[in-house]
Amino acid sequence: MRQMEEKILREGTVLPGGILKVGSFLNQQIDTAFLREIGREIARLYAAERVNKILTIEASGIAIAAAAAMEMGVPMLFAKKHRTSNVDGNVFSATAHSFTHGTDYTIMVSRDYLLPADRVLLVDDFLANGAALRGLIALVDAAGATLVGAAVAIEKRFQNGGDRLRTQGIRVESLACIRSMENGNLVFDTVSRAGDPA
Ligand code: 5GP
């Protein structure tokens, strides 16, 4: 999605440790017109897949997931994060490692909201090592639901999480794919698809 690349180039900041800051439009302040475009693009990519639920993790995935869910006309469900594994009964839970905080945490969703008949699309803001998506996949598997694929706003391909999932046969779409960002120099892997917006 060319708009995503342009936005990152204009407004993103590369921080030490391989972190891209996009607080001006995605992670703290949200550019709502752009958010709508993100939702439309994710809906377009997965239009043929009969998705009936979108799953993300609180907090930074929620806005994008909600935008995509509104476009697709389906519910959006977010996994809650807890730092301990002390979770109450009626939930599916999994452990994930936070790339940005360097700690492990438990994610959980109520068994009432993730069902065996669900065809689930995972949505998140960033894909780095893939721990967040792997945690969500564990929840989908625990529920006996069907995983349709994943859509992320920004993939940092140099951390290999996306390619590891693709190798497992999981469809992973990223709206901008960063090949490298050494010394603050952003290089994209631009993927062009039929029907891409200009
Ligand atoms: P992963 O689990 O794939 O290693 O990392 C994905 C999660 O870490 C995302 O949910 C996102 O919140 C956070 N994350 C990873 N890399 C970045 C980054 O460069 N910038 C920001 N803002 N968040 C990141």
* pTM exceeds 0.85, yes or no: yes
Residue 187 and residue 189: Cα distance in Å, rounded? Answer: 7
Average confidence (pLDDT) over 66-74: 98
User: Nearest 5°: phi and psi at 32?
Assistant: -70, -35
Cα of 152 vs centre of ligand 1, distance in Å, is 10
Point out the ligand 1 atom lying closest to the alpha carbon of residue 124.
10
Encode pLDDT of 122-155 as tens digits: 999 999 999 999 999 999 999 999 999 999 999 9
User: In whole angstroms, what is the distance from residue 122 CA to residue 188 CA?
Assistant: 23
Q: Is the CB of 127 under 6 A from ligand 1?
A: yes
Q: Which two tokens stand for residue 43?
A: 């809906």
Q: Indicate whether residue 128 lines ligand 1 (CB < 6 A).
A: yes
pLDDT score for 134: 98
Written as one string, the DSSP assignment of 60-103 is TTHHHHHHHHHHHT--EEEEEEESSS---SSEEEEEEE-TTT--
User: Per residue in 8-46, pLDDT tens?
Assistant: 999 999 999 899 999 999 999 999 999 999 999 999 999
Is 74 near ligand 1, meaning CB less than 6 Å away?
no
Output the six-digit token pair for 180. 């490298």
Q: Please, what is the end-to-end C-alpha distance for the chain in angstroms?
A: 8
| Dist CA 140 CA 120 (whole Å) | 8
Mean pLDDT of 145-171: 98
Distance 99 CA to ligand 1 centre (A): 6
Neighbours of 83 (CB within 10 A): 11
Which residues are registered as beta bridge partners of 152? 124, 174
- How far does the centroid of ligand 1 lie from the alpha carbon of residue 127, in Å? 6
* Ligand 1 contact via 19 beta carbon (within 6 Å): yes
Arithmetic mean of pLDDT over the chain:
93
Of how many residues is the chain composed? Answer: 198
Calpha distance 116→103 (Å, rounded): 30
Cβ neighbors of 19 (< 8 A, separation 6 or more) are 100
Report helix, strand or coil for 56: strand
Is ligand 1 within 6 A of the CB of residue 131?
A: yes
Among candidates 95, 72, 75, which has minimal Cα distance to 84? Answer: 95
Which atom from ligand 1 is nearest to the alpha carbon of 26?
Answer: 22
Query: If you measure from the C-alpha of residue 65 to the centroid of ligand 1, how many angstroms do you get, rounded to a whole number?
Result: 15
- Ligand 1 atom 9, closest CA: 126
